[in-house]
């Protein structure tokens, strides 16, 4: 299994000054991490972050990518444009976009395909809502969401990262227990195994109120290969503690 991967999703937060301060604190404490690390700022700050992170162990990610390659798609940013800025990872299908921008499973699969074609690793988010969780539909929902990506991308699925993010745990302070998360990750791993012989190389991240206190236990589960971190990635000390907890 490859190194664990810790990704910060800054969501719609930051400013030129705040980004510089946060990255300064991160680079001051990160040393040589044992895991891979990336941050995903709002796209408008990519040029700034590219400069700030140059030569550092922190890679650049984005929170979204267009499902189109170029043309009359006002407001969209293509995977090729992101690649121009040194982007390594693209989050696709975050539950906030599925909810607020009506992104469907098919949209998410297309975005993953565009990212892969440009040499960007898509971080495909899957996860059930509270209502679905309470109705015992977790497995059905995450498998449906991932199968759209597998269906469109075929054997290339071995090149993606998956993030299991139970919607009820995002930004709520309510984390899935390590056992709950592990059991869903095992389901996802089995689904990937059925699609590619390289399933073990696909990193499956957990996201949903992961923080400095619960990271080590979550990351010790056999199928949890890293974390997608929202709130705690905006506090350098907390994000650094999560990075330190992510040993191979
Ligand atoms: C996220 O938005 O991907 C996330 C996991 O957020 P938080 O860590 O704040 O729950």
Q: Is 94 a catalytic residue?
A: yes
229 lines ligand 1 (CB under 6 A): yes
Q: Is 99 in the pocket of ligand 1 (CB under 6 A)?
A: no
Beta-carbon count within 10 A of 221 CB: 17
CA of residue 171 to ligand 1 center, whole Å: 5
Number of domains in the chain: 1
The most distant pair of C-alpha atoms in the chain lies apart, rounded to whole Å, by 48
Does 210 contact ligand 1 (Cβ within 6 A)? yes
Q: Report the separation in Å between the CA atom of 63 and the middle of ligand 1, taken as the mean of its atom positions.
A: 12
CB 184 within 8 A of CB 142: yes
d(CA 208, ligand 1 centre) in Å:
5
Q: Name the active-site residue from 94, 103, 133, 185.
A: 94
The span from the CA of 200 to the CA of 181, in Å, is 17
Distance CA 221, CA 243 (A): 16
Q: Cα of 232 to ligand 1 centre, how many Å? A: 8
Give yes or no for residue 234 CB within 6 A of ligand 1. Answer: no
Per-residue model confidence as pLDDT tens digits over 77-120: 999 999 999 999 999 999 999 999 999 999 999 999 999 999 99
Closest CA to 161 of 242, 89, 86, 223: 89
Cα atoms found within 13 Å of the Cα of residue 207, Cβ hemisphere only: 33
Provide CB contacts within 8 A for 98, sequence distance 6+.
Answer: 104, 108
pLDDT at position 21 is 98
Angle subtended at Cα 87 by Cα 86 and Cα 90, rounded to the nearest 5 degrees: 170
CATH classification of the domain holding 54: 3.20.20.70
A 10 A CB-CB count for 126 gives 26
Token code pair at residue 58 = 């922190």
Name the residue of 209, 211, 213 whose CB sits within 8 Å of the most ligand 1 atoms, as the mutation to test its pocket: 209
- Among residues 96, 159, 165, 185, the one annotated as catalytic is 165
Cβ of 231 below 6 Å from ligand 1: yes
Q: How many CB atoms lie within 10 A of CB 73?
A: 12
pLDDT in tens, the chain (248 residues): 689 999 999 999 999 999 999 999 999 999 999 999 999 999 999 999 999 999 999 999 999 999 999 999 999 999 999 999 999 999 999 999 999 999 999 999 999 999 999 999 999 999 999 999 999 999 999 999 999 999 999 889 999 999 999 999 998 988 999 999 999 999 999 999 999 999 999 999 999 999 999 999 999 999 999 999 999 999 999 999 999 999 86
Domain of residue 189: give its range.
5-245
- Cβ of 171 closer than 6 Å to ligand 1, yes or no, is yes
> End-to-end alpha-carbon separation of the chain, Å?
8
pLDDT at res. 248: 67
- Exposure pattern of 128-158 as b/e (b: 16+ CB <10 Å)? bbeebbeeeebeebbbebbbbbbebbeebbb
Could you tell me the distance, in angstroms and rounded to a whole number, from the CA of residue 135 to the centre of ligand 1?
A: 23
The answer to whether 59 is a known catalytic residue is no
Nearest CA among 116, 56, 127, 52 for reference residue 88: 116
């Amino acid at each position: 299994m490859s190194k664990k991967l810790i990704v910060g999703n800054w969501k719609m937060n930051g400013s030129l000054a705040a980004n510089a301060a946060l990255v300064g604190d991160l680079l001051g404490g990160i040393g040589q991490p044992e895991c891979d690390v990336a941050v995903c700022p709002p796209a408008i700050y990519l040029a700034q972050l590219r400069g700030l992170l140059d030569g550092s162990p922190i890679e650049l990610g984005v929170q979204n990518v267009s499902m189109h390659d170029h043309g009359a798609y006002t407001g969209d940013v293509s995977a090729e444009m992101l690649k121009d800025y040194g982007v390594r990872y693209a989050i696709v299908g975050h539950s906030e976009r599925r909810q607020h921008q009506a992104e469907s499973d098919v949209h998410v699969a297309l975005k993953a395909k565009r990212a892969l074609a440009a040499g960007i690793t898509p971080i495909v988010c899957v996860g059930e809502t509270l209502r679905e969780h309470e109705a015992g539909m977790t497995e059905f929902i995450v498998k449906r969401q991932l199968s759209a990506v597998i269906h469109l991308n075929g054997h290339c699925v071995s090149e993606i990262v998956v993030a299991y993010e139970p919607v009820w745990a995002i930004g709520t302070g309510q984390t899935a227990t390590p056992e709950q998360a592990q059991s869903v990750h095992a389901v996802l791993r089995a689904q990937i195994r059925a699609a590619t012989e390289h399933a073990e190389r696909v990193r499956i991240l957990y996201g949903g109120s992961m923080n400095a206190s619960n990271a080590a236990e979550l990351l010790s589960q056999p199928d949890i290969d890293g974390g997608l971190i929202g709130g705690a990635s905006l506090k350098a000390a907390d994000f650094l503690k999560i990075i330190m907890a992510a040993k191979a």
